[in-house]
Structures are given as structure tokens and as C-alpha cells.
Amino acid sequence: MSMNPSSEPEAAAKAYPGGQAILQSSEAPRTLWRNRTFRRILYGYGISVFGDCFNSIAISLWVLQTTGSAKSMAAIQICNMAVSFIFGSVAGTVADRLDRRKLMLASDVFRGVIALLIAVSLFSWHVPFPVLLLLLSLSMFSSLFQAPAFHASVASMVGKQHIQQATGTIHLVDNLARISGLAAAGVAVAAFGGFVAILITSATFLLSAICVLLAGRFPQVMRTSGDPKSFAQAWRSSFAYIYRSPLIRSIVLLNPLLLLFFMSAMMLIQVMAVNVWKANPVQFGLIETCIPLGYMIGSGVLIASGKRLKHRGRWVFIGLLVLGPVYMLLANVSSPLMALPLIIGGGAMFACCTMLTQIMLRTAVPDEMQGSVYGVVGTITSTAPILGLTVVSIFADHWGAATVLEGVGILLLATGIIAITTLKSIRTYT
């Protein structure tokens, strides 16, 4: 597959016999905001993300209030990570072989029913904790199919010319949904109790399914004549495709590293806010708000820039190279108020890196392979941050959060220098 960045979509079309038809079908004439299918699917996606975050807080609060056990919380996290790691790539392959709209519908309805079962099981049947783990694992398994089916449908749904605007909008909605879901869950549990909170979770998933239902039919996935006949062949071909494509392989390698460093740094900043900067509750809240605020600012700038943004690959590395020094500066500031602009800037740079690589994926990967690629990316990115947080938390206990944050900044800067010199396919992407 030719990796000339200026003709990446055309290269994908040549590499796959049906690719040219995909490009032609993706040239949607209407504007993004008049695209009813995209709008309604986006509403459903936002509601689904809200439900995921709401559910995680509601369940966590119930476990802590009922058992007070850190081991129980760890068991839930381990089960979620294991299910994601084992089945994430499989879910992506399923998204490429089945009707993506039906898959999203099934995922939302199933999670809504499972959430209802969890509420009844915990507060009426008083089931043992292993049964709760099983139900949560089933919910997690179902959620794995929703994200690849959604992300794989965006490019053909909005058209090649709207991919950057659509990607930025998705990131904005994702962040708003996560912030509001995490905040609302705590309020709901305090005001109405765990049973009602989990019922609200069930309602959000079912509402998401209604949005998907109202969106109508998705654009047909264009198949190539060389499609593997068996599921196992299709699953293996997704890894082979990633390995053969320098651009996709580079993104699959870079994205988990970015998330690992970012999540680790955010955790260390929270520790510093309490232990080093002695932030009061208001200041701590501002710090928490600035993290997604910076991300949304970066997303908004990319949306506004539209087609005027050139040399997108270079901007990925600009964001990456700036992030390291930002974390090093944060490790040496003495007050929470001094940290706020740096945190906002770091969030904006992180958005620059991650959004642009998402745009590259949606532009370069053939429609029939997008679910598989997103499934593999999701599997890796769901595991890497947890491993990073584990290691960083151990080091922070020994050497202090400020020292470890400075080390993270140095490592991230070194990673950026290595990446910009070795990942040419991203660097030269236009």
C-alpha cells in the first residue's frame, strides 16, 4: 500500500479493489449539520457515553458504600480490562461483517436490559458479588461492539470532506458526555439512591437505541472481491492490514503511548494539587474542569480550521513535542492557579495529537476495515493507560508526584523526538 500522504485515500482505494467505490460514495453533497443520520447517531453516541460514565460512578459508589472493599473495586476494573483485551479486536471484526446500525441497536438494548437486571439484582434479590461481576462483564462485552460500529460508520456517513469537522464534533460531544455523566451520577446517588441511579443508566442506553433507530439506514459498506470468507480469516487479516500499512501501524503504536502518558500525568497532577499545591475544594474543582476544557478548546480550534489546516502530520508532532515540556513545567509550579493555564494548554495539545490521528484513520482506512482497526486500537488503548497508572502510582509513592511528573515529561519529550524521526508516514501526512 502506497503511503504517499497526499494521496492516502487514493492509495487505500488502489490497495483494495472496492476502495474507489468507497471514496465515491463518501462524497456526501450536504453539509454536516443537515446530515440527519449523523446528527441522530451523534446524539445516541453522546447519550451512550453519558450512560457509561454514569454507570461506572453509580456502581463504584454502591460497591464502596456496601462493601468498603478496595479488592472489590479492583476486581471490577480487572474484569473490565480482561473483557476488553480479549474481545476488543473480535468486536471490531464483527462490526465490519454485520450491519453496523443493527449492531449498535443490539448493544444499546442489551446494556439497557443488563443495567435493569443489575438494579433489581442488587436492591431486590441481593445477589452475591460474583453475580454482579458477571453482569458487569456482560455489559462491558456488549459495549465493545458499539464503539467500533459507530466510529467505522462516520467516514461513509459524513463524506470525506466533512471528516475533520465530524471528528472534532465527536470529540467535543464525548468530553461533554463524560463530564456530565460523572458529575450527574454522584448527584443522583446522593439524591435518589443507588437503585434509581442504575435505573437511570438503563434509561440512557435505551434512549441511545431510540436515537440509532430514528437515524435510519447507514450507508452500505462497500465490500471488495477479496474479502475473507471465514470470521477467523477476517480477524487475522485486520492485524495483517495494520502491519502492512506504515501509517496505520504508526497510529496504532502512537495513540496508546499518548494516552498512557496523558492519563498518568493527569493522575499525578491531581495528587500534586492535594499534596503539593494544597488546593482547596474550589481550586481542585477548577483543575478538574481545566483538563477537559483544554481538550475541548483544542477540538474547537481544529473544527474551526477545517480545510485550512495543512500538514496535519506535523501538527500531531508539534502537539506531542509541546506536551513533554508542559508536564515538566507543571512539576515545578508552586500553586494551583499557576498550573491552570498549563493544564488547559496540555489538554489542547493532547486534542491536537489524538484528533488528527483519528482523522487520518477515518480517511486512510477502507470502509470495510474500519471496524477491525478501531477494535484493535480500542483494545490496546483500554489496556495501556491502566498499566501506566499502576507503574506511575508506585513510583509516586516512593519519589513523590512532582519528581515522577517531571520524569513523565522527559520521557514524553524523548518519545516525541524518537517518533518524529522514525514515524515518517505520520510526519509527512498532509
Strand runs labelled E in 284-365: none
Task: Please identify which residue in the block is written with the cell numbers 465490500.
Answer: 223
Q: Are residues 313 and 393 in the same domain?
A: yes
Same-domain pairing of 168 and 290: no
pLDDT in tens, 83-128: 888 898 899 999 988 899 999 999 999 999 999 999 888 777 778 8
**pLDDT of 301 strictly over 90:** no
Q: Quick one: 322 and 271 in the same domain?
A: yes
Report, as an integer, the average pLDDT of 344-363: 90
Shared-domain flag, residues 193 and 256:
no
The answer as to whether 286 is a domain residue is yes
Same domain, 254 and 208: no
Whether pLDDT at 17 is above 50: no
- Domain assignment of residue 355, given as a range: 244-427
Contacts of 327 (CB under 8 A, 6+ apart): 265, 346, 405, 406, 408, 409, 412
Share of the chain above pLDDT 70, in %: 90
Residue 138 pLDDT:
93
pLDDT for 7 beyond 50 = no
Question: Is the residue at 22 inside a domain?
Answer: no
Which pLDDT value is given to residue 340? 92
Asked if residue 156 and residue 293 are part of one domain, the reply reads: no
Report yes or no on 26 lying in a domain: no
Q: How far apart are CA 241 and CA 369, in angstroms?
A: 9
pLDDT at 157 over 50: yes
- Indicate the pTM of the whole model: 0.78
* Least confident range of 13-17, 136-140, 159-163, 183-187: 13-17
Q: Is residue 16 part of a domain?
A: no
Give the pLDDT band of residue 280 (cuts 50, 70, 90): confident
Based on the fold, state whether residues 277 and 335 are members of the same structural domain.
yes
Contact 235, 90 (CB under 8 A): yes
Q: Specify whether 179 is located in the same domain as 261.
A: no
Per-residue pLDDT tens digits for 203-226: 999 999 999 999 988 887 766 655
Q: Is residue 12 part of a domain?
A: no
Same domain for 206 and 289, yes or no, is no
Q: What is the pLDDT confidence band of residue 307, given thresholds at 50, 70 and 90? A: confident
Q: In terms of domains, do 293 and 169 share one?
A: no
Find the CATH number of the domain harbouring 259: 1.20.1250.20
Is residue 11 in some structural domain? no
